[in-house]
Structure formats: structure tokens, C-alpha cells
């Protein structure tokens, strides 16, 4: 059976595809900023506070990491209106992506914090640093530097997982692809192009994170970031 590829028919839908690309980029950047900030905060609370706070953070991390992202999106988009909180599809996607990424970021940063040797803390105390200075400069910054490549891999995975948001009518790249496919019936062409776009976005994001790592932590961390491949979470 022969098949003739006709990529030219997609040209008239380039506006639709570009719109989906833009929303994917916007959701990814916002969720990375918000999710990583929440991850730093929660990991810090877990390491500083004990008792109930630690157990609550651990419970949140375990629940999010051991339930499907799609179910989490459904709870936000379909569940919140039952409580009288109505959000649009794009907002629900951002909330779901942030909640999911924050849980993974918390666990990654926690591992970095626990990897900081006690001798470094003692050295900070010997130099007369305050507790805040010790935590910020001796614990948190080195911890984030250690796990930065792993964080970046998770960021790339989150960007790719944004395609799941099409299930709640978020008009990102995957939803745009489905619309174009329904109009043209050229499934091969549409999804080959979309695959290449996702690949380009992932490589561009990894490169951008590498440059950010170079600015924040130096060349060694940046090289590890740009060569690291994302790992699918268990």
C-alpha cells in the first residue's frame, strides 16, 4: 500500500499551530517558575520544621507523585466548580501543572538538601553566619546546584506533559494538532510535524536551562544540564 505525504495542506493551519505552540510555551514557563518556587519553599519547610509540617509535605508529595497527572487535572477542572470555584481551562492547566511539578521539585530539592555535609554547616557557624545565612548560602544554594540537572529534566518532562491538558479543552499544541487532523484527515503529516515541534521545544528548553545554570552555578552544572536526558518518573 502506497501513501503520499502532503505536508503542504498544513500550511493553511499554521496560525492554529503557532497559537498552540505559544500556549504550550506560556504554560510551561509559568508552571516551571511557580512549581520550582513552591518546591523550594516546601523542601525548606520540610527540612526546617518537624512534626506535622513535615508529614503534611511528605503526604502531599506522595499523593501527587503516585496519582496520574490526568486525574489531578480533572480534580482541578471538574472538581473545583463543585466547591464553587470556577476556573477556565488554561488556568486549570496551569494550576495542575504547578501542583504536579511542585511535588517533584520538592522531592528533588529535599535530596539535595540532605546531601549537604554537616561539616559545611559547622564551617558556616564557625564563620559567624546567622541561621538564615547558613541555610541560604551553605545549604540551599549548594543543594539546588547539586540537583539542578535533575530539576531541569523534570521541567522538560512537565513541558511534554502539557499535552495531557488537551483533555480539559486547553488549546495547547496537542489540542491544536487534534483540530488540524480533524480538518485535514492527514494524521501522519500532522503528528510528524507536532513530534518535531515538541522535540525542538524540549531541546530549546534544555539549552535555555543550561544557560541559566551557567549564570547561576557555573559551567560544570550547565554542561551536566544540557547533556542530561529527561527520565520518566516512576
pLDDT tens, position by position, 115-158: 887 777 777 777 777 777 777 777 788 888 889 999 999 999 99
Domain of residue 196: give its range.
13-217
Domain assignment present for 210: yes
Domain assignment present for 196: yes
Domain assignment present for 7: no
**Number of structural domains in the chain:** 1
Q: For residues 124 and 137, is the Cβ–Cβ distance under 8 A?
A: yes
Contacts of 30 (CB under 8 A, 6+ apart): 94, 98
Q: In this predicted structure, what is the pLDDT of residue 224? A: 59
Domain assignment present for 226: no
Each residue's pLDDT tens digit, 132-143: 777 777 778 888
Domain assignment present for 4: no
DSSP 79-144: IGGGGT----HHHHHHHHHHHHHHHHHHHHHHHHHHTS-HHHHHHHHHTT--HHHIIIIIIIHHHH
Domain assignment present for 223: no
Predicted structure pTM score:
0.87
Assigned C-alpha cell, 82? 463543585
Domain of residue 76, CATH code: 1.10.3720.10
Each residue's pLDDT tens digit, 51-96: 788 899 999 999 999 999 999 999 999 998 888 888 999 999 999 9
Domain assignment present for 224: no
Task: Look at residue 204 and tell me whether its pLDDT is greater than 60.
Answer: yes
Domain assignment present for 88: yes
Q: For residues 112 and 146, is the Cβ–Cβ distance under 8 A?
A: yes
Nearest to 211 by CA among 201, 202, 223: 223
Label residue 233 by pLDDT band (50, 70, 90): very low
Amino acid at each position: 500500500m502506497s501513501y503520499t505525504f502532503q505536508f503542504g495542506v498544513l500550511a493553511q493551519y499554521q496560525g492554529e499551530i503557532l497559537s498552540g505552540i505559544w500556549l504550550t510555551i506560556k504554560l510551561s514557563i509559568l508552571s516551571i517558575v511557580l512549581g520550582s518556587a513552591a518546591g523550594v519553599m516546601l523542601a525548606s519547610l520540610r527540612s526546617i520544621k518537624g512534626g506535622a509540617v513535615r508529614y503534611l509535605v511528605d503526604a502531599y508529595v506522595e499523593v501527587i507523585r503516585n496519582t496520574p497527572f490526568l486525574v489531578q487535572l480533572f480534580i482541578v477542572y471538574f472538581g473545583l466548580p463543585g466547591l464553587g470555584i470556577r476556573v477556565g481551562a488554561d488556568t486549570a492547566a496551569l494550576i495542575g501543572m504547578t501542583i504536579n511539578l511542585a511535588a517533584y521539585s520538592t522531592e528533588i530539592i529535599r535530596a539535595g538538601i540532605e546531601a549537604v555535609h554537616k561539616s559545611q554547616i559547622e564551617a558556616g557557624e564557625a564563620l559567624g553566619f546567622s541561621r538564615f545565612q547558613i541555610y541560604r548560602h551553605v545549604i540551599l544554594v549548594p543543594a539546588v546546584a547539586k540537583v539542578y540537572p535533575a530539576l531541569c529534566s523534570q521541567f522538560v518532562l512537565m513541558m511534554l506533559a502539557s499535552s495531557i491538558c488537551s483533555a480539559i479543552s486547553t488549546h495547547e499544541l496537542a489540542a491544536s494538532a487534534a483540530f488540524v487532523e480533524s480538518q485535514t484527515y492527514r494524521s501522519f503529516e500532522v503528528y510528524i510535524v507536532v513530534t518535531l515541534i515538541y522535540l525542538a521545544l524540549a531541546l530549546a528548553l534544555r539549552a535555555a536551562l543550561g544557560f541559566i545554570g551557567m549564570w547561576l552555578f557555573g559551567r560544570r552544572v550547565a554542561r551536566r544540564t544540557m547533556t542530561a536526558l529527561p527520565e520518566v518518573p516512576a
